[in-house]
Amino acid sequence: MSSAETMSDPCRLPPAPGGEMTDRVRRLRDGILAEKPGICLDRVRIYTRVHQEREDQPIIVRRALALKETLARMRIRLDDGELLAGCHASRPRAAPIFPEYSVSWILEELDDFERRPGDAFHLSGEDKSTLREILPWWKGKTLFDKGLALMTEELRDIYAAGLIHPDGILTCGDGHIAIYHEKLLEMGIGGYLREVDERLAGLDSRLAGDVGKRLFYQAVKTSLEGMALYIGRFADLAGKQAEAVASPGRKRELVRLAEACRRLTSEPAGSFFEALQMACFSQLILQIESNGHSLSLGRLDQYLFPYYRRDFLAGRLDGAEAVELLQCLWLKLMSVNKIRGWKHTRFSAGSPLYQNVTIGGQTPEGDDAVNALSYLILRSVGGARLPQPNLSVRYHKGLPEAFLLECLEVIGLGFGMPAFNNDEIVVPEFIRLGVEPADARDYAAIGCIETAVPGRWGYRCTGMSFLNFMRVLLAALANGRDPVSGKTFREGEGDFTDFTSFGQVMRAWERQAHFYARALVATDTAIDLAIEENVPDPLCSAFTDSCLERGLTIKEGGSKYDFISGLQVGVANLGNSLAAIKKLVFEDKLLAADELLRHLDSNFAGPEGERVRLLLLNRAPKFGNDDDYVDELTARAYGLFIDEYERHVTTRHGRGPVGCRYYAGTSSVSANVPQGATVPATPDGRKAWQPLAEGSSPASGTDRQGMTAVFKSIAKLPTRRILGGVLLNQKLSPSVLRTESDRRKLAGLLRSFFDDLKGWHVQYNIVDRETLLAAKREPEKYRDLVVRVAGYSAFFSVLAPDTQDDIIARTEQKL
């Protein structure tokens, strides 16, 4: 279908982005926002019981049985006014517990959940006691335990020292995936069950390999049955409410819902409403199956469009109704909550789920893919002003100007969405990696800014193993000794004070960077094997090509493609530090090496320390100002790390998927704050324990030349080797997007950044400093203030104070 045809649809679009919500949506939204985040014990109770009762069964079968039992028995509800059904837990915003991933942090932190400075969770004393009873059974059986056991002692020490932070995967599993929604909508649960039965019938039990396949298919079947049971329960619930309700309007809604759910227990989706409801169910259920976050919805405007179009042309649906339904889906996404260990919470401030929705981009043939639904999704997100979903727009050269301008208008509403990904680099680079062109053009944003092809790509297109670049650099300057733990994991090239040239500094960096690149891969390998063995996900695998065909879970190599990235934190600090050393120590000779080290040790104490700090800060070039001296140094140093990192393969290598390789990534979410909190003073003039630079963005307050210079600096990074994402967060004052003329100028800037400079991503925080300061002082008054943290948006008021400070400190680009 050509884009001209799709756009000529006489869609009665609701008028303005961020237009009014309906009373229903507003009421439901108020209800969810008023919910205090809590803990729901349904899942942990059922999972524990099934695991205890069915210890005889292989793990994949046991997990499927636990999922089915949970879906059949967890408490569900359907609130007054709700158009869409589905529950993630017994209450909105209540986080289920996933004991099979890790329990030690839960038992340790149980009493502190309510007292956290940010992201507090509330639970009753009785629930605490229950958890204390249930959880100890899991000790030694969890992913966390098994993963640690598979790591070498050295890797455990590196982890303990905080140089590599794999807690995201080690305590929660992978996440970061989008399933094949088109297929699920077209086949329905019944279609999948038939396929599984056929495949089971074709197995030969005499073959060892087929035994594993049989277990997988059995587990898939059990999971699909659980899914049907769960959906059927909502059909019953809606039906019962329909009988009891007095209002004829509400009765009609409930009858529609009951009928849709009844159908969806086995049939394909037959309408926009059913398709949306199915996307909602699968999104919730997959987040009950496993605990990894960033489960994303993929290209919602593409796979829902045929349903929307058919209903629209038949007069069964108009744009305003579609927006209301979409907003009901956003509220369902909002109701999902996740509790992480405190250590990891600081890496993901604001309890985000990173449920990404992608719109725009190109068709598999390379035409513009924007359609009426793209606009409706954009407007519905603008109108709802919620931190979920995480909305991403795929930019490409042919993106209609009107659409781009409307994106900027929504950005101007000031809650950090949408973010942009750039087809002009993602598509050709994916093709270069071996992705089929039609698949490459079908990619979506996953989680924050990272990208993968929905339904065809394995878990974790972003690695989740964070490497702290600045700790590595400090070790490079100290003959390999990590200054925080005092340990030498890899002997260096000597002490900085003995270096006679800057080249030696770079060699020392390279040596350490290579060592830690290998340590990152080794950490991932251990954890990946532990995930494969201990927490397989049959349902998510079933919805990912080519798992059913191969009879393998995703972790066993079932997916068509498999590329992952690590997360490197402190890119700008690395470049700035090297530039300061090169310029001030070796070229201008304003500082002696021992003098610099002394002041780093003392955290720039005393007036002389402050003088040295300012010298480092002000008298050496900084990344983000389009200064080749430091920009090229940053790119070179990062490149040295990537040289080693991209040589390695994942645990799926040779088992089926295309790729199975690593590339770099900087979608480091809010990790820059806690990672900085473990780093002593650094040669870029940054004081000890302060945040590092976020993603690939310039270090806070050091970009002084404006947005164009930032774009130019970012573009000098080796983007095509950082396909895990080059995160650029720009904060703009609201004035920037006030008039149409301003928006046109910004649109032009974006086109230059994407078309000519091949930028990867950019997102905007449109909030003025005063507002943020006020929100920090009086959080109650700003309960709905959403800010872009890094790759995602969160409520400002729930963030920890140091993350709030970091957001306030980021340079506000004034025009």
Partner 1 sequence: MIFNIQRFSLHDGDGVRTVVFFKGCPLRCAWCANPESQAFAPELLYDPEKCLGCRACVRAAPNGELYWRDGLCLRRDSGIAAGRFAAVCPAEALSLAGEEKEADEILAVVERDRVFYRGKGGITLSGGEPFAQPGLAARLAERAKGRGLTVAAETSLAVPWDCLAPSLPFLDQIFADVKHLDADKYRRGTGGDLALPLGNLARLAADGIPITVRVPVIPGFNSKPGELEAMADFAASLGNVTALNLLPYHDYGRGKYRLLGREYPYAGVKSIPPESLAAAADRLRRPGLEVGVGG
Catalytic residues: 448, 450
Q: Is 762 in the site for partner 1 (CB under 8 A)?
A: no
| Sole binder of partner 1 in the list 124, 129, 501, 618 (CB under 8 A) | 618
CB 329 within 8 A of CB 280: yes
Strand order in the sheet with 761-766: 356-360, 390-395, 419-422, 761-766, 729-732, 812-813
Cα gap 815→19, rounded to integer Å: 27
Give residues 734-753 in contact with partner 1 (rule: CB under 8 A): 736, 742, 745-746, 748-749, 751-752
Q: Is 579 in the site for partner 1 (CB under 8 A)?
A: no
Near partner 1 by CB under 8 A, which window of 101-109, 229-237, 432-440, 614-622? 614-622
Residue among 567 and 757 whose Cβ is closer to partner 1: 757
Residue among 435 and 620 whose Cβ is closer to partner 1: 620
Rounded to the nearest 5 percent, the helix, strand and coil shares of the chain are 55, 10, 35
- Smallest gap, in angstroms, from Cβ of residue 109 to partner 1? 43
Q: Count residues contacting partner 1 (CB under 8 A)? A: 28
Q: Is 603 in the site for partner 1 (CB under 8 A)?
A: no
Residue among 197 and 770 whose Cβ is closer to partner 1: 770
- Smallest gap, in angstroms, from Cβ of residue 683 to partner 1? 14
| Sole binder of partner 1 in the list 30, 236, 491, 756 (CB under 8 A) | 756
Please give the C-alpha separations between residue 476 and each of 458, 479, 507, in angstroms, as whole numbers: 35, 6, 9
Q: In 3D, which of 425, 422, 391, 385 has the Cα closest to residue 407?
A: 391
| Sole binder of partner 1 in the list 314, 607, 654, 780 (CB under 8 A) | 607
Q: Is 626 in the site for partner 1 (CB under 8 A)?
A: yes
Q: Is 124 in the site for partner 1 (CB under 8 A)?
A: no
DSSP string covering 588-602: S--S-HHHHHHHHHT
Cα gap 346→800, rounded to integer Å: 8
Question: What Rg do the C-alpha atoms of the chain give, in angstroms?
Answer: 26
Give residues 175-234 in contact with partner 1 (rule: CB under 8 A): none
CB 670 within 8 A of CB 790: yes
Tell me the H-state helices in 290-371. 300-303, 305-313, 319-335, 342-345
Cα gap 696→714, rounded to integer Å: 7
Residue among 406 and 626 whose Cβ is closer to partner 1: 626
Residue among 258 and 750 whose Cβ is closer to partner 1: 750
Interaction pattern, residues 652-691, with partner 1; x per rule: CB under 8 A: ----------------------------------------
Sorted by sequence, the CB contacts under 8 Å of residue 228 that are 6+ apart come out as 189, 265, 266
| Sole binder of partner 1 in the list 707, 726, 728, 762 (CB under 8 A) | 707
- Smallest gap, in angstroms, from Cβ of residue 690 to partner 1? 19
Q: Is 525 in the site for partner 1 (CB under 8 A)?
A: no
Cα gap 175→600, rounded to integer Å: 39
Tokens for 90, please give them. 């017994």
Q: Is 708 in the site for partner 1 (CB under 8 A)?
A: yes
Residue among 464 and 757 whose Cβ is closer to partner 1: 757
382: left (phi over 0), alpha (psi -120 to 50) or beta: alpha
464: left (phi over 0), alpha (psi -120 to 50) or beta: left
Q: Is 630 in the site for partner 1 (CB under 8 A)?
A: no
Q: Is 712 in the site for partner 1 (CB under 8 A)?
A: yes
Sorted by sequence, the CB contacts under 8 Å of residue 415 that are 6+ apart come out as 385, 387, 785, 786, 787, 788, 793
Cα gap 526→149, rounded to integer Å: 8
Sorted by sequence, the CB contacts under 8 Å of residue 125 that are 6+ apart come out as none
| Sole binder of partner 1 in the list 431, 484, 709, 809 (CB under 8 A) | 709
Residue among 363 and 705 whose Cβ is closer to partner 1: 705
457: left (phi over 0), alpha (psi -120 to 50) or beta: beta
Residue among 328 and 746 whose Cβ is closer to partner 1: 746
Q: Is 588 in the site for partner 1 (CB under 8 A)?
A: no
| Residue 722 phi, psi dihedral angles, 5° rounding | -120, 55
- Smallest gap, in angstroms, from Cβ of residue 751 to partner 1? 7
Q: Is 619 in the site for partner 1 (CB under 8 A)?
A: yes
Near partner 1 by CB under 8 A, which window of 374-382, 413-421, 704-712, 775-783? 704-712
Please give the C-alpha separations between residue 318 and each of 3, 224, 308, 331, 525, in angstroms, as whole numbers: 19, 33, 9, 20, 50
- Smallest gap, in angstroms, from Cβ of residue 430 to partner 1? 24
Residue among 497 and 705 whose Cβ is closer to partner 1: 705
| Sole binder of partner 1 in the list 611, 647, 781, 783 (CB under 8 A) | 611
| Sole binder of partner 1 in the list 295, 637, 664, 757 (CB under 8 A) | 757
- Smallest gap, in angstroms, from Cβ of residue 285 to partner 1? 46
Q: Which residues of the chain form contacts with partner 1 (CB under 8 A)? A: 607, 610-612, 614-615, 618-619, 626, 705-709, 711-712, 736, 742, 745-746, 748-749, 751-752, 756-757, 813, 815
